[in-house]
Amino acid sequence: MTLTFLYLWFVIGGILAWISGRWSKNFPRWISLGFLSIHMAVLIIIWIKYLAAQSAGIQSGPWIMEINVPWIARFGIHYSLALDGFSLLLIVLSNFLGIMAVAASWEGIQYRIGFFHFNLLWILAAIVGIFLAMDLFLFYFFWEIMLVPLYFLIGIWGHENRTYATLKFFIFTQASGLFMLLAILGLYFVHGASTGIYTFNYTDLLGTPMSGTTAFWLMLGFFIAFGVKLPLVPVHTWLPDAHTEAPTAGSVDLAGLVLKVGAYGFIRFMIPLFPEASFSFAPVAMILSVVGIIYGAVVAFGQTDLKRLVAYTSISHMGFVLLGAFAWNQLALQGALIIMLSHGLSTGALFILVGDLQDRIHTREMGKMGGLWDTMPRMGGYAMFFSMASLGLPGIGNFVGEILVLFGVYQVSVTLGIIATIGFIVATIYSLWIIQRAFWGKNTQSWKLHDHNPREVAIMVIMVVGLMWMGLYPQTILNTSRQAFKNMRQYVYNVFQPYHQKSSAYQVNPARDEMTEKSLNTAQIKPKDGDQK
């Protein structure tokens, strides 16, 4: 029941917000905020209970909660939702960024407010659904439905070139999603043929026996869908357009949540369902992610449009996530999760900053900026902080995540680990570039702007606190997600190990790296010990 509540609450809230938009401009905003806050309260209660149960050593089954009832019996489709530490954290992130998005568009959005908040809440509903769905059909259902409100959000409230951007975004993601549908159906029939049970249930489909070629093609279907969302380099071209043309709230949702959905898919579905195929494909995927890390950063540096620059940095950061996912050891996975969370916050904050800036100077061209620190010291300071977060300054969440991923990747491939580290250097360049071009230097256009107002400061402060928390005490997050990753790795181990006794670089055995994890967990939370650069 609680699980249904977690997404249905937003569905209801969205409809109420839409209707209430008829009477007042403020109703939809307050309704959205109210619904989000209540949702957050429920999440925090679940979270605290879970952490308490963890520390007390009470662990009942792999899920914190689950629900499973028949839905479309003809195909063996179940309405199956489940929550574990991994999805819980991502749902908390979704809600958090939802609140930030509402707050950030409090003044920026002045027309069709009801419909705007409807779309905003429905995006969240679909994303929460994706994180909860444990039936592949249901997963695909939420996956596709997420596009519609996002499409409206960008298409109606976006900037100049929005029609082109939305079409590109929609067609890219839809087409790739359909390949996933093919793969899901392929898996369904393969499983049905070999076991006689036709089901879309995730846990039942784990470890489906199939030939190497079949597994490869099915894996590829998932890979394309998640790769487009993440996005991976050859299929990333929708991202800069969509991010740039989206309104602030849309960019926050896109960068903070939609990209995470792709990463979540890799970790939750693709690798556990097709461990063999995934690991044999891993070199390609990891090279692609390293290419993404470097390419995203280099192209970001070349941008003159500030928002586009931030968009490209996402490609770079998400490369680390994919790298971590394919390294598939506890460290790398935990790291990937922390990057997902902290990237959501830092990039979300940067997009909000760019939005604030655009509201004031009506341009995103960095050529027209410069010297803004003098007129807006508060905004400059926050921009500084989030740029530092983006370049991976120790003490901020992004650093913890990226360093954990690198630790994990070193165990799998030293070369890739080293090349990925170069990403840090390029990240430093573009992050400092933002500050240099926009906030320092000469105020050539003689801007006289009003600085952040209390609402905007509040948003920024909350984001800063979140990032600092993850940077200084990531243990909360590590504790919450540990068991979830362990379970997934156990499944994979069960399937993978019999064929690979002398497991290669992959430490698929969860027991083996318990030690490393413990020693590192205690070591790395003192970030002041050293800057890796």
Partner 1 sequence: MTSENFSALLPLMVLAATPIVIMISIAIQRNHAISGVLALLGLLLAFISLAYPLLVPPAARHIPPLLSMDTYSVFYIGLMIAASFVLTALSHGYLENYEGRKEEFYILIILGTLGSSVLVASTHFISFFLGLEILSVSLYTMIGYVRENEQCVEAGIKYLVLAAASSAFLLFGMALVYAELGSMAFPEIARRLGAPGLNTMLILTGFSLIIVGIGFKLGVVPFHMWTPDVYQGAPAPVSGFIASVSKGGMVGLLFRLFLEYHITQYSSIVLVFSIIAIASMFIGNFLALLQDNVKRIMAYSSIAHFGYILVAFLAAGNMGIEAGAFYLTAYFVTIIGTFGTITILSGKEREAEEIEDYRGLYWRHPWIASIFTIFMFSLAGIPLTAGFIGKFYLVAAGVNSSLWYLVIILVINSALGLYYYLKIIVYMYLEHTNEAESAEKAAPLPPSVSVVSGFVLVLVIFFLIWFGVYPQNLMVIIKSAIAGFGYAPMITAGLIP
**Residue span binding partner 1 (CB under 8 A) among the ranges 52-60, 170-178, 405-413, 445-453:** 170-178
What is the SS3 string spanning 252-267? Answer: HHHHHHHHHHHHHHHH
**148 vs 298 by CB, closer to partner 1:** 148
Near partner 1 by CB under 8 A: residue from 116, 170, 351, 399: 170
**Residue span binding partner 1 (CB under 8 A) among the ranges 160-168, 311-319, 349-357, 474-482:** 160-168
Q: What does 360-383 look like in DSSP terms, one character per residue?
A: HHS--BGGG---HHHH-HHHHHHH
| Residue at token pair 């429920």 | 42
Which amino acid appears at position 233 of this protein? Answer: V
Near partner 1 by CB under 8 A: residue from 40, 156, 419, 468: 156
**185 vs 298 by CB, closer to partner 1:** 185
**Residue span binding partner 1 (CB under 8 A) among the ranges 81-89, 174-182, 315-323, 410-418:** 174-182
Contact (CB, 8 A) for 483 and 59: yes
Q: In 51-171, at which residue ranges do the beta strands (DSSP E only) sit?
A: 65-72, 77-83
**Residue span binding partner 1 (CB under 8 A) among the ranges 137-145, 208-216, 368-376, 435-443:** 137-145
**149 vs 394 by CB, closer to partner 1:** 149
In the complex, least distance from residue 71 CB atom to partner 1, rounded to whole angstroms: 7
- The four Cα atoms 88, 92, 97, 98 give a dihedral, to 10 degrees, of 100
In the complex, least distance from residue 166 CB atom to partner 1, rounded to whole angstroms: 8
Burial of 530 (0-12, 13-18, 19+ CB in 10 A): exposed
* Residue 422, C-beta contacts closer than 8 angstroms, at least 6 positions apart: 293, 294
In the complex, least distance from residue 126 CB atom to partner 1, rounded to whole angstroms: 9
Q: How far apart are CA 152 and CA 367, in angstroms?
A: 31
In the complex, least distance from residue 292 CB atom to partner 1, rounded to whole angstroms: 23
The H helix count followed by the E strand count for the chain is 23, 2
DSSP-derived pairing of the beta strands 65-72 and 77-83: antiparallel
Near partner 1 by CB under 8 A: residue from 4, 24, 26, 163: 163
Near partner 1 by CB under 8 A: residue from 40, 42, 167, 449: 167
Contact (CB, 8 A) for 333 and 517: no
**135 vs 517 by CB, closer to partner 1:** 135
Near partner 1 by CB under 8 A: residue from 9, 63, 152, 439: 152
Give the Cβ contact number of residue 298 at 10 Å: 15
The reply to whether 75 sits near partner 1 by the rule CB under 8 A is: yes
- Residues in region 176-205 near partner 1 by CB under 8 A: 178-179, 181-182, 185-186, 188-189
Which amino acid appears at position 167 of this protein? Answer: L
**179 vs 433 by CB, closer to partner 1:** 179
In the complex, least distance from residue 237 CB atom to partner 1, rounded to whole angstroms: 15
For the stretch 373-381, contacts whose Cβ atoms lie closer than 8 Å and that sit 24 or more positions apart, written own/partner, are 373/439, 373/440, 374/443, 375/443, 375/447, 375/448, 375/449, 375/451, 376/449, 376/450, 376/451, 376/452, 377/451, 378/451, 378/452, 378/457, 379/353, 379/439, 379/451, 379/452, 379/456, 380/435, 380/439
**Residue span binding partner 1 (CB under 8 A) among the ranges 141-149, 263-271, 352-360, 498-506:** 141-149
In the complex, least distance from residue 120 CB atom to partner 1, rounded to whole angstroms: 16
**78 vs 307 by CB, closer to partner 1:** 78
Near partner 1 by CB under 8 A: residue from 20, 32, 95, 166: 166
Q: Could you tell me how many residues of this chain bind partner 1 (CB under 8 A)?
A: 31
| Residue at token pair 């055995």 | 509
**220 vs 300 by CB, closer to partner 1:** 220
Q: How far apart are CA 146 and CA 124, in angstroms?
A: 8
The reply to whether 69 sits near partner 1 by the rule CB under 8 A is: no
**5 vs 164 by CB, closer to partner 1:** 164
What is the SS3 string spanning 464-490? Answer: HHHHHHHHHCCHHHHHHHHHHHHHHHH
The reply to whether 155 sits near partner 1 by the rule CB under 8 A is: yes
- The closest of 238, 17, 48 to 124, measured between CA atoms, is 17
The reply to whether 23 sits near partner 1 by the rule CB under 8 A is: no
Near partner 1 by CB under 8 A: residue from 60, 69, 74, 448: 74
In the complex, least distance from residue 185 CB atom to partner 1, rounded to whole angstroms: 4
In the complex, least distance from residue 95 CB atom to partner 1, rounded to whole angstroms: 22
The reply to whether 447 sits near partner 1 by the rule CB under 8 A is: no
Q: How far apart are CA 102 and CA 449, in angstroms?
A: 23
The SS3 call for residue 455 is helix
In the complex, least distance from residue 70 CB atom to partner 1, rounded to whole angstroms: 8
The reply to whether 67 sits near partner 1 by the rule CB under 8 A is: no
- Residues in region 295-354 near partner 1 by CB under 8 A: none
In the complex, least distance from residue 309 CB atom to partner 1, rounded to whole angstroms: 27
In the complex, least distance from residue 232 CB atom to partner 1, rounded to whole angstroms: 18
Q: How far apart are CA 522 and CA 130, in angstroms?
A: 33
Residues binding partner 1 (CB under 8 A): 71-75, 137, 141-142, 144-145, 147-148, 151-152, 155-156, 163, 166-167, 170-171, 174-175, 178-179, 181-182, 185-186, 188-189
